[in-house]
Amino acid sequence: MAIDKKALAAAYKERQNIGGVYVIRDQAGAVALLAAAPNLDGALNRFRFAQQTGSCVHPSLEKSWGDGQGFTIEVLDRLEQDPEWSRRRWQEELAALAGLWREKLGLV
Protein backbone atom coordinates (compact mmCIF):
# COMPACT_ATOMS: atom_id res chain seq x y z
CA MET A 1 0.00 0.00 0.00
CA ALA A 2 1.51 3.31 -1.09
CA ILE A 3 1.50 6.34 1.14
CA ASP A 4 0.03 9.46 -0.45
CA LYS A 5 2.53 12.08 0.71
CA LYS A 6 0.56 14.95 -0.80
CA ALA A 7 -2.57 13.93 1.10
CA LEU A 8 -0.57 13.62 4.32
CA ALA A 9 0.97 17.07 3.80
CA ALA A 10 -2.44 18.60 3.08
CA ALA A 11 -3.96 16.99 6.18
CA TYR A 12 -1.07 18.28 8.29
CA LYS A 13 -1.58 21.83 7.02
CA GLU A 14 -5.34 21.66 7.62
CA ARG A 15 -5.14 20.35 11.18
CA GLN A 16 -6.43 22.62 13.89
CA ASN A 17 -3.86 23.92 16.33
CA ILE A 18 -5.14 23.81 19.88
CA GLY A 19 -3.20 25.98 22.26
CA GLY A 20 -4.01 27.16 25.70
CA VAL A 21 -3.05 28.31 29.14
CA TYR A 22 -2.00 26.01 31.95
CA VAL A 23 -0.63 26.19 35.48
CA ILE A 24 1.86 24.00 37.24
CA ARG A 25 1.16 23.77 40.95
CA ASP A 26 3.50 22.74 43.73
CA GLN A 27 2.74 20.32 46.58
CA ALA A 28 0.96 23.05 48.55
CA GLY A 29 -1.29 23.80 45.58
CA ALA A 30 0.28 27.19 44.93
CA VAL A 31 0.84 28.30 41.35
CA ALA A 32 4.49 27.67 40.55
CA LEU A 33 4.18 28.55 36.85
CA LEU A 34 1.48 29.93 34.57
CA ALA A 35 2.20 29.56 30.87
CA ALA A 36 0.62 29.64 27.42
CA ALA A 37 1.46 27.07 24.77
CA PRO A 38 0.62 27.06 21.06
CA ASN A 39 0.52 23.24 21.25
CA LEU A 40 -1.25 22.37 24.48
CA ASP A 41 -0.97 18.60 24.04
CA GLY A 42 2.78 18.99 23.54
CA ALA A 43 3.10 20.98 26.77
CA LEU A 44 1.17 18.32 28.68
CA ASN A 45 3.34 15.57 27.20
CA ARG A 46 6.55 17.46 28.12
CA PHE A 47 5.33 17.80 31.71
CA ARG A 48 4.54 14.08 32.00
CA PHE A 49 7.87 13.15 30.41
CA ALA A 50 9.74 15.45 32.80
CA GLN A 51 8.03 13.78 35.76
CA GLN A 52 8.81 10.29 34.47
CA THR A 53 12.47 11.07 33.86
CA GLY A 54 13.04 13.36 36.84
CA SER A 55 14.10 16.20 34.56
CA CYS A 56 12.84 19.72 35.13
CA VAL A 57 10.07 21.02 32.89
CA HIS A 58 10.99 24.72 33.15
CA PRO A 59 14.14 26.59 34.27
CA SER A 60 12.22 28.71 36.78
CA LEU A 61 11.24 25.52 38.66
CA GLU A 62 14.71 23.93 38.82
CA LYS A 63 15.43 24.73 42.47
CA SER A 64 12.19 23.26 43.78
CA TRP A 65 11.51 20.57 41.14
CA GLY A 66 13.38 17.62 42.71
CA ASP A 67 11.97 14.56 40.93
CA GLY A 68 8.87 16.54 39.94
CA GLN A 69 6.42 14.17 41.60
CA GLY A 70 5.07 16.89 43.90
CA PHE A 71 3.92 19.02 40.99
CA THR A 72 0.66 18.87 39.06
CA ILE A 73 -0.47 20.48 35.83
CA GLU A 74 -3.91 21.93 35.17
CA VAL A 75 -5.29 23.25 31.89
CA LEU A 76 -7.09 26.54 32.49
CA ASP A 77 -8.23 27.37 28.98
CA ARG A 78 -8.04 26.05 25.43
CA LEU A 79 -7.93 28.15 22.28
CA GLU A 80 -8.27 26.94 18.72
CA GLN A 81 -6.15 28.77 16.19
CA ASP A 82 -8.12 30.60 13.52
CA PRO A 83 -6.80 29.55 10.08
CA GLU A 84 -6.60 33.23 9.13
CA TRP A 85 -4.20 34.09 11.97
CA SER A 86 -0.50 34.49 11.32
CA ARG A 87 1.97 32.86 13.67
CA ARG A 88 2.51 36.23 15.34
CA ARG A 89 -1.23 36.79 15.85
CA TRP A 90 -1.54 33.28 17.31
CA GLN A 91 1.20 34.06 19.85
CA GLU A 92 -0.43 37.40 20.70
CA GLU A 93 -3.82 35.77 21.28
CA LEU A 94 -2.28 33.18 23.60
CA ALA A 95 -0.32 35.85 25.49
CA ALA A 96 -3.51 37.89 25.96
CA LEU A 97 -5.34 34.81 27.26
CA ALA A 98 -2.50 34.12 29.70
CA GLY A 99 -2.67 37.74 30.86
CA LEU A 100 -6.38 37.37 31.60
CA TRP A 101 -5.69 34.26 33.66
CA ARG A 102 -2.87 36.01 35.55
CA GLU A 103 -5.33 38.72 36.54
CA LYS A 104 -8.06 36.23 37.40
CA LEU A 105 -5.70 34.27 39.66
CA GLY A 106 -4.21 37.42 41.20
CA LEU A 107 -0.71 36.76 39.85
CA VAL A 108 -0.20 40.24 38.41
What was the pLDDT predicted at 13?
67
Query: 48 — alpha (psi -120 to 50), left (phi > 0) or beta?
Result: alpha
What was the pLDDT predicted at 5?
81
Question: What is d(CA 108, CA 91) in angstroms, rounded to the nearest whole number?
Answer: 20
* Predicted confidence (pLDDT) per residue in 16-35, tens digit: 789 999 999 999 999 999 99
Confidence of residue 12 (pLDDT cuts 50, 70, 90): low
For residue 10, pLDDT beyond 70:
yes
The domain 17-104: what is its CATH number? 3.40.1440.10
What was the pLDDT predicted at 38?
96
Average pLDDT of the chain is: 91
Locate the domains of the chain by residue range.
17-104
